[in-house]
Amino acid sequence: MSYSASSEFTDLVSAKLALIEDELGRQAGADTPFVTEAANHIISAGGKRFRPLLVVLCSQFGDAVNDADLVRAAVVMELTHVASLYHDDVMDEASRRRGAPSANLRWGNSVAIMVGDYLFSKASLAVAELGVDFVKLQARTFSRLVQGQIAETRGPSQGQDPLAHYLKVVADKTGSLIAASRRSRSEERR
């Protein structure tokens, strides 16, 4: 690929990521200034936006995807990820997330858990707009993610190979959502 072609591609990806960023902020809006602030806290603290990036990159393969659906899919993945981080920081008693004070440190465990739930509800609402296949993908992914987290919390069972347990934990709690982020083609969602 020539330099100018690669620069054009970078511009295209950056433009889509900018649309996604705007929508993420909008989706984290709530009925009260407090929930809006708390729900935006970890989103605006930064993050790599790896899952949205994967959605954008995969959208370049196969049939064209319209921007509205692309943005929605990317937002669903990032909101689910961020929601899980609110919960994870409670479980890990973490004091920092993305370089900022964690939500649990700022507002306590109960608020952090409920803000995670709030963001997850917004992801659920957005995924409904994408149709049943996407809802199923999201639900199956979430089921794996949570089971991965439970398996990590409980540790390997007696006689289980600790490395195999660890690899399954990371595949389920982290890999599942990353894998879902690249499954933007309709035929792969089932």
Q: Does 152 bind Mg ion (CB under 5 A)?
A: no
Which of residues 44 and 124 has its CB atom nearest to ligand FPP in the complex?
124
Element housing 156 (H / E): none
Residue 75 binding target from ligand FPP, Mg ion, none, CB below 5 to 8 Å by type = none
Q: Which tokens in the block code for residue 58?
A: 């995969």
Displacement of CA 131 from its chain's centroid (Å): 18
- We find the least distance from the C-beta atom of residue 132 to ligand FPP, in angstroms, to be 21
Measured between alpha carbons, how far is residue 164 from residues 156, 157, 159, 170 in Å?
9, 11, 11, 10
Which of residues 17 and 118 has its CB atom nearest to ligand FPP in the complex?
118
Q: Which stretches of 30-185 are assigned E, i.e. beta strand?
A: 96-97, 100-101
Question: Rule CB under 6 A: which residues touch ligand FPP?
Answer: 83-84, 87-88, 91-92, 116, 120, 145-146, 149, 173-174
The total number of residues shown for the chain amounts to 190
- We find the least distance from the C-beta atom of residue 146 to ligand FPP, in angstroms, to be 5
Element housing 150 (H / E): helix 132-154
Give the 3-state secondary structure of residue 42.
helix
Instruction: Choose, by CB under 5 A, the member of 88, 122, 130, 189 that binds Mg ion.
Output: 88
Instruction: Choose, by CB under 5 A, the member of 92, 93, 129, 161 that binds Mg ion.
Output: 92
Give the 3-state secondary structure of residue 190.
coil
- We find the least distance from the C-beta atom of residue 179 to ligand FPP, in angstroms, to be 13
Looking at residue 92, the DSSP 8-state letter turns out to be T
CB 184 within 8 Å of CB 58: yes
Which of residues 21 and 78 has its CB atom nearest to Mg ion in the complex?
78
Tell me the window of 14-22, 88-96, 158-166, 175-183 that interacts with Mg ion (CB under 5 A).
88-96
- We find the least distance from the C-beta atom of residue 36 to ligand FPP, in angstroms, to be 19
Which of residues 6 and 95 has its CB atom nearest to ligand FPP in the complex?
95
